[in-house]
Structure 1
Amino acid sequence: MKKILLTAFVMASLMACNSNNNGQENTASNTDFAKTVDDYYEERLKLFPIEATYQGDNRYNDQLPNSNSQEFLDRTKNFYAESLKKLTAFDREKLPDQDKISYDILKRELELQLEQFTYHLEYVPFSQFEGLTLTFGQLGSGAGAQPFKTVKDYDDWLKRVSAFTVWGDSAIANFRKGMAVGIVWPKSLVVKMIPQMTDLVVTDATKSLFYGPITKLPGDFSEVDKNRLTSAYKIAILNEIVPTYKKLGDFLKNEYLPKARTTSGIDAVPKGLELYRYLVKTWTTTDKTPEEIYQTGLREVTRIRGEMEKVKAQVGFKGTLNEFFTHLKTDPKLYPYKQPKEVLDAFNAILARIEPNLKKMFTKTPKSKFEIRQTEKFREASASAEYNPASADGSRPGIFYVPIPDAKKFNVTSGMESLFLHEAIPGHHYQFSLQQENTDLPKFRRFSWYGAYGEGWALYCESLGKELGIYTDPYQYMGALSDEIHRAIRLVVDVAIHTKHMTREEAIKYMMDNEPIAEDGAVAEIERYMAIPAQALSYKIGALKIRELRTKYEAQLGDKFNLAAFHDEFLKDGCMPLDVLEHKMDAWAARQKE
């Protein structure tokens, strides 16, 4: 979920098929269409096998294509072009209603995918926030999506490792291509990327993050296999993984950093403004202009500050709102934790408090298991709290990762309750799990992703706190408001950084002036927006649309409005663009009137 462009092709259901569209004359065409779309999904997994691994599809766990190579880029571009050609060979008007929607969404997706090649995103193959360099550590640690249960699983990983060195060399080659044409990362991001490489350089293989699977060798492995794999992993770590990370770190420090740019926004690179508009369209699934989004952000910041003033008055604080922010960041009573376990226990307590009311707001809940874990040490210094979905087969739980570099610095007003609603339950865990568990959906719908829908849903879930029986403590409610204004601030600073020449430092100051966030937190956030432009817009744009729809249907349906039914309908068909969502939900509301 952390790519510059997340591929999402969703076939959405707007209405039940009209009976007169289900005639015999369309049966063959419909079958061919379904096969075409299914083939697209299957062929795409071969190009992006790590996505298959994260979905719990283990067929390609030994593969790691060199995604930086021109051969791979050409093959991928040709795949999208051929898929579009196959799709448009169908006569859209002769397809049933469901397939017409499928046609429209897939056509949109393929056209967007083809457009990305114009901007040479391969010239910045990874950043401090996302990329294979970070994903590789998660996969190889033995605690991530890559399975380590059978001898074949262990051998599969060794094959992926053997391809990592080639990937690293080509990443450096592509960074150099970017340097030659002025497509480079800002210096402030490169400084953060360097230790992410060097921290994984060890001289003792047993001290490596990548030795984790060997410490968990299954007891039923033969001694021969145990000894062979232990030796092979030590060799792979010292001869392939460590040299690759060292080479990347040395390159970034000695060659790339001096050529990195001092500007903050993507508008500073060739075709930067066009790229930003493209990413806005991709992430928000709307045709809103950056300026429209910027103005919405300013209005929301003003509105939420007004709510914060009410909380300040409620707790009897006599200073200004900004002085209240300082109080929230510095009062020792708001830093009660000493050990990471205490923080994790507090999140588990939130789950216990909301469980009784969840039953009133959701009829359908996931079968997938759920866990709360501390973010791995190698990446938690620059990581945000996040959710990693469960595998579709239930073998891996959904995981809510919480970075806790220092438990003593974990502030209870940091929005713990709202963070849980967003990243865990009923936010991402419900949305991802219900989508994947619905085997009535074809796979291209079960595993799709649109940020405006998925992140919009998670942010909307934050607004359910009082209905779920939390936010009773004014400081926790202040945390929720802080989280909400944080997403509104994103609309302002993301657009301003990338289209209005707002600097990194100006954006950090704006954020700290409008929410009680520590400076290191603001720095990490602003640098995230610099690394993945427009992604942060999807949250608030999506949440505003969902709240708008709920309000509309409450007014239209009156006593016939059922919140659990609204939530169930929203989630049951999986991710989709916001315009498709609104049509689908309008059709649902019409049925409720009958």
Structure 2
Amino acid sequence: MNKVVLCSLIVLFAMSCKQDKSDNQESAIDFNQLLKDYNEEGYQLNPMNATRAGDSRFNDKFPNNLSETYKAKKKAYYTKYKDTLAKIDDSQFTDTEKMSKAVLEWDCDINLEEMSFQKDLMPIDQMWSTNLDFNQFAGGTNAQPFKTVEDYNIWLTRVDAYLFWLNAAQDNMKKGMETGYVLPSSLIVKVIPQFEGLASDDIENNLYYAPVKNFPETFTDAEHEEFTKAYTNMVANKIIPAHKQMANFLQNEYLPVGRSSSGITGTPLGDAYYAHQIKKYTTTNMTADDIHQLGLSEVARIRSEMEAVKEKVGFKGDLKAFFNHVRTNKDLMPFTERSQVIAFYDSIYNVMKPQINRLFGKQPKTPFEVRRTEPFREKSAAANYNPGSLDGTRPGIFFTPIPDVLTYNVFDKEDLFLHEAIPGHHFQISLAQENKELPDFRKTLWFSAYGEGWALYTESMGEELGLYKDPYQYFGMLSAEIHRAIRLVVDSGIHSKGWTREEAIQYSLENEAESEEDITSEIERYMANPGQALSYKIGQLKLRELRTRASEALGDKFDIKEFHNQVLETGCIPLQLLENKIDNWITAYK
């Protein structure tokens, strides 16, 4: 071969390599744009998600997600991205890009599967429905901003759209009444007061009037007058009548046809819907029977640990009697003012701080606060965490309901803080939102088995964080864990084994220290949203399994901070994808 031919071949080969590299770069750029488009279109489809993330562009929007037009648009959205992903070769992708593709595929599939069911014929319940989410924005203390004249005008527009949705919800419920898609009567009676509370003629104490009481200092007298008039009109002529109408409908038309059955199998949704819910909330292929048996096993294991604590504190009597003792022990109800409850949580954080650095390398920059749950939802709400904004300007907030401060029992509150606040949801959600390597859609995506599994996993770290020194607080942690194990039993019992509400309440009373009032609220929560309650324990057990696997495989090389980094840096992902990631990390680390 002469030199000219050889040189020509070398040039052609170099050009080919350059073109391949260019093609790969173009593919990566296209994929990155795809992820941006998915997030952008997702915000347009769900503007409330954009508001929660701190994106203000859609703060006036509230689409009617019950309409056929909206559902067609939603189906087309997920189908388009699912079909596009199938055509993408990810062989040259980075690990983060491969993970993003797998997560996006899973998200599209589970949402398309969910759309095959007519759950929207039961659009309102006592805990999970859109109206409750929207109400949280109304008081001016949550994600919806009330800082400018435009903000105040925008909210009036969004309220009008929400009231249109509320009418559509009533229409859907009427269709559900004709076809067997109705709530249990025991849930309907809990919904009615929520609407009655916003139907009161006391305008100035209505939740939707609250922004008038907190005008920004920059507002002029004329703006004060303008928005006081506008918001008074909105509350008097829109909010109050709409909520009165819904309360009357629920009381006089919906409640009389409410069903006596407790489980979802009492509706046309049936077993197929529950199987879907298990998959959605656990991100596994477990069956209802698998979950029920696992729950029974975990309840038995945790009860044995509880027996040891009972013996340690010298209580004479059986475990059920000890539960009653803990529920009613006035020494565990030390507060007389709600401000003392908030101070108590602050003290927990101060105890933990020295240990945090030893266990966590990556820690969030997003600020954090503890607040009392808003009174309008306090009686029926559980403690919860509201994420901060993506830009970190709005803090993460741990909300705790304090309906009666004199009976606020602290025995289980150290582990509650670990779960809802630090290092639970605040660490997990904030670190994902702050991670610049993650595409935007993964910063706000939520898979319950991972998110709630992480939060429950952190409860077991209390001793490592300097907590649970009081045996009653350790018992509180066990109580919280058995509570999640009980969920596996009663959720599957209600929705797949024909258990009644009363049977589920009784099983819980026999196996945990919560009050009957709290247990009843919990059981009704599971009735309203089948499968969600399974996610905590399934996720926690998987994280414990992965930590043990890594520790045993790596021996002296195991670094707990790096393990936590590996888990947290991904954001929320399905459990199988997390397991694959940790296995690859173990292999590489060895």
Q: Shared topology, TM-score over 0.5?
A: yes
The answer to whether the Cα contact below 8 Å between 1:390 and 1:396 also exists between their aligned partners in 2 is: yes
Instruction: State how far apart, in whole Å, the 2-side matches of 1:238 and 1:358 are.
Output: 50
| Residue 490, structure 1, aligned to residue 487, structure 2 | yes
Give the one of 527, 541, 547 matched to 2:524: 527
Instruction: State how far apart, in whole Å, the 1-side matches of 2:393 and 2:212 are.
Output: 20
Which SS does the other structure have where 1:118 is aligned? Answer: coil
Instruction: State how far apart, in whole Å, the 1-side matches of 2:208 and 2:23 are.
Output: 57
Alignment of 1:221-236 (within 5 A): 221-236=219-234
Give the one of 237, 243, 247 matched to 1:249: 247
Alignment of 1:214-363 (within 5 A): 214-363=212-361
Instruction: State how far apart, in whole Å, the 1-side matches of 2:109 and 2:580 are.
Output: 22
Structure 1 window deviating more from structure 2 (358-367 vs 66-75): it is: 66-75
Q: How many residues align?
A: 574
Residue in 2 aligned with 1:501? 498
The answer to whether the Cα contact below 8 Å between 1:36 and 1:87 also exists between their aligned partners in 2 is: no
State TM-score, norm by structure 1. Answer: 0.94
Give the one of 70, 73, 78 matched to 1:72: 70
Instruction: State how far apart, in whole Å, the 2-side matches of 1:93 and 1:349 are.
Output: 50
| Residue 466, structure 1, aligned to residue 463, structure 2 | yes
Runs of 4 or more consecutive aligned structure 1 residues displaced over 6 Å after TM superposition: none
Instruction: State how far apart, in whole Å, the 1-side matches of 2:60 and 2:330 are.
Output: 50
Residue in 1 aligned with 2:431? 434
The answer to whether the Cα contact below 8 Å between 2:119 and 2:269 also exists between their aligned partners in 1 is: no
Which SS does the other structure have where 1:372 is aligned? Answer: strand
Structure 1 window deviating more from structure 2 (127-136 vs 476-485): it is: 127-136
Amino acid at match of 2:272: E
| Residue 580, structure 1, aligned to residue 573, structure 2 | no
Instruction: State how far apart, in whole Å, the 2-side matches of 1:240 and 1:216 are.
Output: 21
Amino acid at match of 2:145: P
Instruction: State how far apart, in whole Å, the 1-side matches of 2:341 and 2:100 are.
Output: 44
The answer to whether the Cα contact below 8 Å between 1:494 and 1:537 also exists between their aligned partners in 2 is: yes
Compared CA separation, residues 106 and 558, structure 1 to 2 (3 A): same
Amino acid at match of 1:564: K
Which SS does the other structure have where 1:371 is aligned? Answer: strand
Shift of 1:250: 0.9
Which SS does the other structure have where 1:368 is aligned? Answer: coil
Which SS does the other structure have where 1:584 is aligned? Answer: helix
Alignment of 1:174-193 (within 5 A): 174-193=172-191
Instruction: State how far apart, in whole Å, the 1-side matches of 2:113 and 2:332 are.
Output: 48
Instruction: State how far apart, in whole Å, the 2-side matches of 1:436 and 1:305 are.
Output: 38
The answer to whether the Cα contact below 8 Å between 1:164 and 1:244 also exists between their aligned partners in 2 is: no
Compared CA separation, residues 94 and 590, structure 1 to 2 (3 A): closer
Identity %: 47
Amino acid at match of 2:320: N
**Rg: which structure is higher?**
2
Shift of 1:96: 5.9
Residue in 2 aligned with 1:32? 30
Residue in 1 aligned with 2:122? 124
Which SS does the other structure have where 1:75 is aligned? Answer: helix
Structure 1 window deviating more from structure 2 (105-114 vs 425-434): it is: 105-114
Instruction: State how far apart, in whole Å, the 1-side matches of 2:359 and 2:109 are.
Output: 38
Amino acid at match of 1:50: M
Residue in 2 aligned with 1:5? none
Question: Where does the alignment leave 5 or more consecutive residues of structure 2 unmatched?
Answer: 1-16
| Residue 209, structure 1, aligned to residue 189, structure 2 | no
Residue in 1 aligned with 2:510? 513
Question: Where does the alignment leave 5 or more consecutive residues of structure 1 unmatched?
Answer: 1-18
Residue in 2 aligned with 1:158? 156
Which SS does the other structure have where 2:216 is aligned? Answer: coil
Deviation digits for residues 268-324 of structure 1 (CA, Å, limit 9, x no counterpart):
111311000001001101111111111111110000000000000001111001111
Structure 1 window deviating more from structure 2 (131-140 vs 484-493): it is: 131-140
The answer to whether the Cα contact below 8 Å between 2:35 and 2:439 also exists between their aligned partners in 1 is: no
Amino acid at match of 1:431: Q
Instruction: State how far apart, in whole Å, the 1-side matches of 2:302 and 2:514 are.
Output: 15
Instruction: State how far apart, in whole Å, the 1-side matches of 2:128 and 2:283 are.
Output: 22
Residue in 2 aligned with 1:146? 144
Shift of 1:133: 1.6
Instruction: State how far apart, in whole Å, the 1-side matches of 2:23 and 2:393 are.
Output: 43
Please, what is the CA RMSD of the aligned residues? 1.7
The answer to whether the Cα contact below 8 Å between 1:164 and 1:241 also exists between their aligned partners in 2 is: no
Shift of 1:115: 1.5
Residue in 2 aligned with 1:15? none
The answer to whether the Cα contact below 8 Å between 2:432 and 2:571 also exists between their aligned partners in 1 is: yes
